[in-house]
């Protein structure tokens, strides 16, 4: 099976985006060492690229981007967000009928991929403010480093980071 040219280009681009820099936030507990994260992500990418079933699942997905007119999206060092949530930071639940891939690609844009028509409709109709809130909470939950375009996100980020560190917050 072959993926379309645009999907192949995106997968290659996503692989580059998913390679973490290895930076760790000083105030967040690291769940995995950077080397382990790179090893897991590389292995996951290789499994997808050689498995015809997983390639077919990706090819069946509809891919789209939602954009905002201002910078409202947080970017984390583990940018791949999926539903259902996976144990490993790079896991993609392609065996799930409800698989949803969410990838913040800019402070004002998020990439989505999904094969389930109901999930597609839900994500496309969801208010941009709610969508940003959900993506940002999940980014904070998964990341060890958070990048915001400016200080206006501090009131949103700070209590969640504190709760994450203390184990009292979960999205």
Q: Per residue in 119-133, pLDDT tens?
A: 999 999 999 999 999
Mean pLDDT of 47-53: 81
Higher pLDDT, 148 or 31: 148
Phi, psi of 145 (to 5 degrees): -135, 135
pLDDT for the residue 55 = 85
List beta partners, residue 100.
83, 114
Q: Above 50 in pLDDT, residue 33?
A: yes
Mean pLDDT of the chain: 80
Higher pLDDT, 1 or 82: 82
What sign does the dihedral 11-14-15-16 (CA atoms) show?
A: positive
pLDDT-derived band of residue 24, with 50, 70 and 90 as boundaries?
very low
Q: Above 70 in pLDDT, residue 26?
A: no
CA torsion, ordered 43, 134, 101, 37, to nearest 10 deg: -10
pLDDT for the residue 114 = 95
Give the 3-state secondary structure of residue 162: helix
> Are residues 40 and 88 in contact, defined by beta-carbon separation less than 8 angstroms?
yes
> Are residues 63 and 112 in contact, defined by beta-carbon separation less than 8 angstroms?
yes
Beta strands in the chain (DSSP E): 62-67, 75-76, 81-83, 100-106, 109-114, 146-147
List beta partners, residue 109.
67, 106
pTM exceeds 0.85, yes or no: no
pLDDT for the residue 17 = 41
pLDDT for the residue 9 = 41
Give the tens place of pLDDT for each residue, 54-99.
888 888 999 999 999 999 999 998 888 989 887 766 678 888 888 9
Give the 3-state secondary structure of residue 47: helix
Higher pLDDT, 20 or 102: 102
What are the structural domain ranges in the chain? Answer: 5-166
Q: Above 80 in pLDDT, residue 111?
A: yes
pLDDT for the residue 126 = 96
Can you tell me which residue has the tokens 């989505």?
112
């Amino acid at each position: 099976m072959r993926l379309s040219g645009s999907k192949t280009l995106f997968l290659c681009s996503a692989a580059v985006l998913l390679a973490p820099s290895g930076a760790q936030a000083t105030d967040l507990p690291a769940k995995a060492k950077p080397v382990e994260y790179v090893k897991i992500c590389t292995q996951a990418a290789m499994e997808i690229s050689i498995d015809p079933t997983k390639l077919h699942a990706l090819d069946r997905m509809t891919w789209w981007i939602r954009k905002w007119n201002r910078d409202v999206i947080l970017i984390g060092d583990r940018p791949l967000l999926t539903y259902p949530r996976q144990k490993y930071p790079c896991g993609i639940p392609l065996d799930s009928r409800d698989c949803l891939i969410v990838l913040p690609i800019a402070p004002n844009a998020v990439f989505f991929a999904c094969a389930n028509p109901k999930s597609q409709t839900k994500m496309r109709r969801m208010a941009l403010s709610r969508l940003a809130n959900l993506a940002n909470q999940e980014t904070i939950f998964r990341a060890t480093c958070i990048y915001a375009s400016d200080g206006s996100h501090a009131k949103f980020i700070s209590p969640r980071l504190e709760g994450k560190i203390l184990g009292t917050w979960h999205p």
